[in-house]
Structure 1
């Protein structure tokens, strides 16, 4: 059993991680603004064991790993509030809280005790992570440097007031994105700009290319976590990074073909084919890669489009033009956000924009959020399936998730329900309900691993 981390009050802020210390010119406070000077002293009375907050695994864990949270040393049926805080790499604070009641023995185990309200309710052992909300509106939690962890603060307060209860216990826990032993290898080969993540032991391992959406740049956190499951995973940049094109007006499959060939030729990658994994714009490009290129055995498409969107896809002397944007079908929500789900012309109307998936011999898994307001992901998956079957190809598996939004992340990331869309240059709604979305993310993570292990095999 993993060791148990127990931090007992009183604590001193000077021992906190450097990035979490308050300015020296200010009263000594924690992230919630609780002053050491104003903190009530323990109430007089019979001495008892101090309250302890324990986490398993202790001290650190990978972001996609469940965290067991327990409190001991409470009075029988004592009401308490647990709260969490995390600062991202832009110093934006994310917070969550939930109200609980100890059992008859004065203990509280979040794996058994339901939350009585707060940021969520019910039996949600990881709710204090997936329910985190940013202090800055319309802000998405991202991890750009996988070599450093997020530092999660947890506190236990007496009573059911998240900002006024007496502080009983506190713990700090590191959530890492680079699993133990996973090797991070920057790739700059020919035109390819990427990062390859390899498991600890020498391969060869099944290879996977990971593609993100319209945010651009090079995001590595999904690839790094997946490499810890026994895959050689290459996070691939395709625009707005290093010397790559700054925009998405044209997407040339030759660049992606070079990336596929690089991964297939790597000595720690087993053949005869590789997998690819794309979300949003990355899902659209994943379908195009599987349609035009060789060497792709399996593809997971998460909320991807079956049509070219926002730019033309080229391969040699062929092209797939983007579907038209229907501005008159864009709506505004009561919160002043754009709802663009109906804002693209159907590829059934503009058939030249339909990516020719019927050419592909790839085995597909479509993972679909049914409350996706970025575009019609379920419609696109079903139309891709129809076209594949109409041409005698294998029927793809489609798994749908009710009330899940557009941005499916690794487990325990909070829902990004709305935010800036770079193609629209405005804030839009992405859809989703926090609890259902959190459940979908856990299942998606399991489904894609099982799919890739089945289709690509394991380490030789």
Structure 2
């Protein structure tokens, strides 16, 4: 009760400073006494003030409260005093039991309203008019473990985020204060009706996601990078946008389970997607990130068993020994002298493949590619020389006469780790080097706001690219959505 009175008095005091009340209220608890069975004048005043405050109790609205992770939300705070300072705060407890937060400082307008999509944050983890700032600017709370990266590993459950509004411009100690209002929202990678199917046979390990409806649908083979493990959330989100998608594990994080980088492994996985009865046989794409891009380009250029309809290549390179992708790590070990460390001790891999080799045996022959390719290039990538690689790929395809198949999007200020929209930017994080097992903090690069814009913009371009090349017509895409 005492805590509630303190919070209430603090709020009332700030209201008075803006001339909302004709009296002044000190930020301390009132002295309560009873005389002749009656409350003292101080308590009577408190009751009257409480009634007045109840009439203007702030109302926090967040819509939708349940949606996909790439869906925008609308946040509005109403019933505040005019020109009243507040802090909007988001809080998320990750599956690794780490808290992430973001916050923005606002001042209500003359109507006592804060509309996040229209009003500018003047401080916090983001500034300006940023409708999704409370999500993409999240960072670990103070005194968290180092090297954290926010990833959703169980796509069958949502990200549960608490959105709260606090009185005044607060920068720390949110857990020790009482919010004026809180709304809990759910952010999903998996849309209602999407089916998740484990693929576990002697040769292939992955997870298949199938959209609801009769189909048929286009297919996507989803390849992550050198971090290893089975990463499902991008495939789940692709299926939520009407693509049958298979997340493939080819780097195992299990000590007793070998990794598989042989081209036949990926061909087998491609055929699993292609031969599913709900998949359009001639509309299967490859989607690669980082090392996954190297695999994607290798398959598109050299595989005689599969023919992707199109390829999505994010933050990757064509530089690799063409006889086998497995030899990529031999090449890394031979170039450890090119490793660098920044001033904070983070490992920088960017120079490993520089200069881009002229030897045709050390890079994919881009002239052999016969399908459309989209390149997503991050200009502050500190993990891989993706800018230089993109320029060389463009020159190779121009010389070969297939440059018309290449679409490139470059994003200044964005780093290596490109995630679905509104995922918090991580400039550096913990990483296990596959060939040595060494745990390091890897520098990925990028700045928070440009990186967030790149994630949102590139996801939109990727979806349009896949829709354009995998659906025979717009009519079939509309029918599949229904």
Report the TM-score, using the length of structure 1 for normalisation.
Answer: 0.85
Match of residue 149 from structure 2: 140
- TM-aligned CA distance change 1:86 to 1:454, over 3 Å: same
Match of residue 41 from structure 1: 8
**1:110-146 Cα shifts (integer Å, max 9, x gaps):** 0101101111110111111111002322211011110
Match of residue 89 from structure 1: 95
Match of residue 451 from structure 2: 437
Give secondary structure in 1 for the equivalent of 2:370: coil
Match of residue 42 from structure 2: none
CA drift at 1:357: 3.0
Q: Does 1:155 align with 2:148?
A: no
CA drift at 1:337: 1.7
Match of residue 402 from structure 1: 412
254-263 or 383-392, which moves further after superposition?
Answer: 383-392
1:99 pairs, out of 102, 105, 108, with 105
264-273 or 337-346, which moves further after superposition?
Answer: 337-346
Match of residue 293 from structure 2: 283
Aligned length, in residue pairs: 420
Match of residue 122 from structure 2: 116
Matches within 5 A, 1:228-243: 228-240=240-252
Asked if the contact 2:322–2:362 (Cα under 8 Å) also holds between the matched residues in 1, the reply is: no
Match of residue 370 from structure 2: 361
**1:35-60 Cα shifts (integer Å, max 9, x gaps):** 967962354433423111111013x2
**1:172-221 Cα shifts (integer Å, max 9, x gaps):** 11111111211112222451211111111011101111111112111111
CA drift at 1:309: 7.9
Give secondary structure in 1 for the equivalent of 2:197: strand
Match of residue 186 from structure 1: 198
Gaps of 5+ in 1: 1-9, 11-34
In structure 2, distance between residues paired with 1:311 and 1:225: 34
Asked if the contact 2:322–2:364 (Cα under 8 Å) also holds between the matched residues in 1, the reply is: no
Q: Does 1:455 align with 2:455?
A: no
- TM-aligned CA distance change 1:91 to 1:168, over 3 Å: same
**1:62-91 Cα shifts (integer Å, max 9, x gaps):** 111111111111100100011111011110
Asked if the contact 2:120–2:129 (Cα under 8 Å) also holds between the matched residues in 1, the reply is: yes
Q: Does 1:269 align with 2:279?
A: yes
In structure 2, distance between residues paired with 1:357 and 1:421: 30
CA drift at 1:329: 3.4
- TM-aligned CA distance change 1:380 to 1:292, over 3 Å: same
In structure 1, distance between residues paired with 2:414 and 2:117: 23
The structure with the largest alpha-carbon Rg is: 2
Match of residue 297 from structure 1: 309
- TM-aligned CA distance change 1:351 to 1:117, over 3 Å: same
In structure 2, distance between residues paired with 1:222 and 1:51: 37
Match of residue 417 from structure 1: 427
Q: Does 1:259 align with 2:226?
A: no
Report the TM-score, using the length of structure 2 for normalisation.
Answer: 0.81
In structure 2, distance between residues paired with 1:76 and 1:209: 53
1:51 pairs, out of 43, 52, 58, with 58
- TM-aligned CA distance change 1:38 to 1:131, over 3 Å: farther
Match of residue 211 from structure 1: 223
In structure 2, distance between residues paired with 1:370 and 1:418: 16
- TM-aligned CA distance change 1:103 to 1:313, over 3 Å: same
In structure 2, distance between residues paired with 1:367 and 1:340: 19
Asked if the contact 1:320–1:355 (Cα under 8 Å) also holds between the matched residues in 2, the reply is: no
**1:294-331 Cα shifts (integer Å, max 9, x gaps):** 320100100112122899426xxxx8785454334333
CA drift at 1:241: 6.0
Asked if the contact 2:425–2:448 (Cα under 8 Å) also holds between the matched residues in 1, the reply is: yes
- TM-aligned CA distance change 1:61 to 1:410, over 3 Å: same
CA drift at 1:350: 4.9
333-342 or 42-51, which moves further after superposition?
Answer: 42-51
Match of residue 128 from structure 1: 134
Higher share in strand: 1
CA drift at 1:234: 1.0
Give secondary structure in 2 for the equivalent of 1:382: helix
In structure 2, distance between residues paired with 1:244 and 1:279: 25
In structure 1, distance between residues paired with 2:257 and 2:57: 59
200-209 or 424-433, which moves further after superposition?
Answer: 424-433
Match of residue 187 from structure 2: 175
In structure 1, distance between residues paired with 2:358 and 2:415: 26
RMSD: 2.5
CA drift at 1:345: 4.3
